[in-house]
Structure 1
Amino acid sequence: MSARATVEDYYEALRRGEPLYPYFAEEPDAVKFGVGETLAGYDAIAEGLREQTRTTTDWVVESDALRVVERDGHATFSDSVRMAWTDTDAETDYDFDTRWSGTLERRVTAGDDAEEWVFLGMHVSVAYEREDE
């Protein structure tokens, strides 16, 4: 799977409510910045994403401008994404225009020489429009 296909597969897993933590590098230096949280280290990312999956539903993820650049075992990506979901604990719907960016690394799966891409870092932020513009 290419780096681009990995990003697209991550979006699809989010829509389906599937586990997201397997997409991240199992390293203490991995990081994920979300709309409302900072998760540093694989353990924190895994726990945060498990909680997100447990407490949210009805995900909409509409990619508008995905760009992926692969170079020598690493890749970067950026995208504009409409993201919406329901928080089942708070019984609240959210809908944001967001910006995504991050880095991935190509890894060889032990035993079968298959390659996969994992996120080393991901940043999701809300696009902010100033009122004075």
Structure 2
Amino acid sequence: MDARTTVSEYYEALRTGKPLGPYFADERAGDDAFVKFGISECLVGGEQIRAGLRSQTETTTDWEVTSHALRVCERDRHAWFSDDVSMVWTDTDVARRHEFDTRWSGTLEFTSDGWQFVGMHVSTADQL
């Protein structure tokens, strides 16, 4: 599987409520903590990233994730991507539907488990 397919499969896992944590690599000794920025949170370190994604999966449903401009560059054991993504989901804690046009970027590393994220940033594309 290539890096582009990994990003697309992550979107599909988000849509279908499958675990998202396995898409993120484990930090190695001496690494600074990996970071995942979401629309409203900053998760620092593999443990916090996995816990945050687990909570997100448990408290949200009915995801729609539409990629509009996926761009991926892959080199040997590293890859990076960017995308414009429309996202819609329901927060089950408050029974509220959310809808955002977002921008994604991130970095992947090829590991023994295939391509995994080592950083991700998701932000809204609101005009100022």
- Which band: TM-score by shorter chain? over 0.9
Do residues 81 (structure 1) and 81 (structure 2) align? no
CA deviation after TM superposition for structure 1 residue 72, in Å: 2.2
Contact 1:68–1:75 (CA under 8 A) maintained in structure 2: yes
Do residues 117 (structure 1) and 115 (structure 2) align? yes
3-state SS of 2:9 partner: helix
Query: What TM-score does the superposition give when structure 2 sets the normalisation length?
Result: 0.94
3-state SS of 1:14 partner: helix
Q: Deviations over 1:81-127 (max 9, x none)?
A: 00010000011100000000000000124xxxxxx000000000000
Count of matched residue positions in the alignment of Structure 1 and Structure 2: 124
- Structure 2, unaligned runs of 5 or more: none
3-state SS of 1:12 partner: helix
2: CA distance, partners of 1:36 / 1:84? 15
3-state SS of 2:26 partner: coil
1:36 maps to which of 24, 27, 40: 40
5 Å matches for 1:94-133? 94-109=98-113, 116-130=114-128
1: CA distance, partners of 2:127 / 2:102? 12
- Structure 1, unaligned runs of 5 or more: 110-115
Give the % identical residues: 61
Runs of 4 or more, structure 1, over 6 Å off, are none
Alignment root-mean-square deviation, CA = 0.9
